[in-house]
Structure formats: structure tokens, C-alpha cells
Amino acid sequence: MSQPFIQVEGISFEYTINNHKTVPVLENVSFDVHPGEYVTIIGHNGSGKSTLSKHFNGILKPLSGNIYVDGLNTREANLQREIRQKVGMVFQHPDNQIVATIVEDDVAFGLENIGVPSSEMKARIDFALDAVGMSEFRKRPPHHLSGGQKQRVAIAGILAMKPDCLVLDEATSMLDTYGRRDILDVVRRLNNDGMTIVSVTHHMSEVAEASRVIVIEKGQIVLDGAPREIFQQYELLHQLQLDVPLASQLARLVHEYDNEFQADLIHNEEIIQEVMRLSAKRGVYVG
């Protein structure tokens, strides 16, 4: 097994809610993310998943325990810059991430900060804007873009930095179906090219894309495994206020009426294939 890219070792975290009270958010969480993995983290609102994701590039430091990114401890202030270059983070609300008045300047902002030569800058901006399908908007002011378009610009800003790992904290939750599909295509392509992906999401169809899913409840890991495995635990997920992808629900329903239909499908495409397989097996359409 390769050396883990992110090592989470027994971390805990809490928020102070008033003078007398604190709320524990993470309790003794440990896991590793290996280079090239595509991990999704799910859990209901307030389960601690966003807090956890903010630990991956040192935005938050654990109260106890340690996180290592490529062997670097996120607690070390002088490693901060190096860590953030390795782990790029995209948040739910693009407005908080956009700084410039023209789209391409916004994408260039991070590059200027890390001193990328201007000769290389153009190629990186071209690549990043093209990857998110926003090239034609490069001269536009970002504040007149729609939420989905802004989010694509924010993602481009991260991609231009060429990080080893991309952390998405509900980054597609404001996008439409097509916008989300575009982003997921980008993410899949980046992952195929070797980039490590960690994605916090509520969209179960997005989870089905990943190689691994971690389920968080009350600040602890309750499930960790391959999506197809996890999505068979329908009742447990429901108790955790979670869901399964629509394809899974549909497959289970069809299976109830027609038990030859496989129940453990998780992708839309698998549903189509299963209908084709069964209909071909049964013969010809007689109406």
C-alpha cells in the first residue's frame, strides 16, 4: 500500500456556543486517504463533515490529534503555504471565494500569490477555465454571473494552482443538473489523471461516482466502504437521515414487482443496462 496522502490521526474538535457551553463536533476521528483515491464524505447537516473537511488544508486545526498532508503536519504554521498548495479547497458558496473584478483575474489571483511566471500563467488559466466550461466568460465581471457560473470560476481558480488533492465542500450543491454534471466530469477526469479527490456532498448520485464513501454521524465515522456496499444498508442510512441514489431506489422498487431485476444498482446507466439485459432475455416486445 502506498504512503497515505492525508493521514487523520485521532482528531477532535469543538465549537464554543456561549460562555458556558461547547459542542463537540469531531470525536477521535482517524482515517487515511491514499494518493489517487476518490473519497466522498456524507452525513446529515451538523454531523461534522464540513468541519472535518476544513481540517484537510489547515483552515481548522484539531484540538487534539494530528493531520498530516503528504507527511506535513497541518499544525505547523510555516508549512501552511506548502500544504495549501498541495490541497486546494472549493466551498459551497462561491461569493466568499471570488476576489477579482474580472473572471480571468480571479483565476490568476492564486497564481500571482505563488509567483507563477506570466508566461506559464496564461496556459494555466486557459486550462482551468476550459476545464470548467467558462472560457467564453473570461472577460466578464464575476459578480454578474449566476451562482453556478461563479462556482465554476472558483473551481477554476483552484485547478489553476495544480494541487495534488482537491477537496470539495458541497461544491456542487448550488449548481444545476448540467453544471453539476460538468463539474463531476472535470472531477472524474482529474481523478483519472491521478489527482486525489475528497468530496463532501449531499447528492447520493455523486457519492456513487466515488471509489469510497465515509459516513459521519455525531462527529464519528460510522461507515466506511465502497458506495455499492454502503447503499445496500438502506435502513441504517435512513436512520442517519441520509438517502440512497435515485437509481438504487428505482432498482429496489422494480425488483419488488419483478424479482429478476437486480436490486443493488447505484448508477442510472446500470438501470438502462438491466432493462436491456432482461428484455433481451425474455424475448420480443408483444405490447
- Grid cell of 215 as nine digits: 459516513
Tell me which stretch binds other proteins (CB under 8 A): 26-34, 58-66, 170-178, 183-191.
170-178
Q: Report the alpha-carbon distance of residue 139 to residue 136 in Å, rounded.
A: 8
* Residue with smaller CB distance to other proteins, 80 or 220: 220
Q: Report the alpha-carbon distance of residue 49 to residue 54 in Å, rounded.
A: 9
Q: Does 135 bind other proteins (CB under 8 A)?
A: no
Q: Does 241 bind other proteins (CB under 8 A)?
A: yes
198 three-class SS: strand
Of 28, 80, 92, 220, the one binding other proteins by CB under 8 A = 92
> What is the Cα Rg of the chain in Å?
21
Of 72, 250, 262, 263, the one binding other proteins by CB under 8 A = 250
* Residue with smaller CB distance to other proteins, 72 or 278: 278
Q: Does 45 bind other proteins (CB under 8 A)?
A: yes
Q: Does 61 bind other proteins (CB under 8 A)?
A: no
Contacts of 102 (CB under 8 A, 6+ apart): 138, 139, 140, 141, 142
Q: Does 258 bind other proteins (CB under 8 A)?
A: yes
Dihedral over Cα of 186, 190, 193, 199: its sign = negative
47 three-class SS: coil
Tell me which stretch binds other proteins (CB under 8 A): 62-70, 207-215, 223-231, 273-281.
273-281
Q: Does 115 bind other proteins (CB under 8 A)?
A: no
Q: Does 120 bind other proteins (CB under 8 A)?
A: no
Q: Does 5 bind other proteins (CB under 8 A)?
A: no
- Nearest alpha-carbon partner for 13 in 4, 22, 5: 22
Of 61, 162, 202, 228, the one binding other proteins by CB under 8 A = 202
- Provide the edge-to-edge strand list for the sheet that holds 72-73: 22-33, 6-16, 64-69, 72-73
Yes or no: say if 66 and 75 are a contact pair by the CB < 8 Å rule.
yes
Q: Report the alpha-carbon distance of residue 249 to residue 1 in Å, rounded.
A: 35
CB of 100 to other proteins, least distance (A): 14
Binding-site ranges for other proteins (CB under 8 A): 15-18, 23, 43-47, 50, 92-93, 95, 140-141, 144-149, 170, 173-179, 202, 204-205, 241-243, 246-247, 249-250, 253-254, 257-258, 261, 268, 271-272, 275-276, 278-279, 282-287
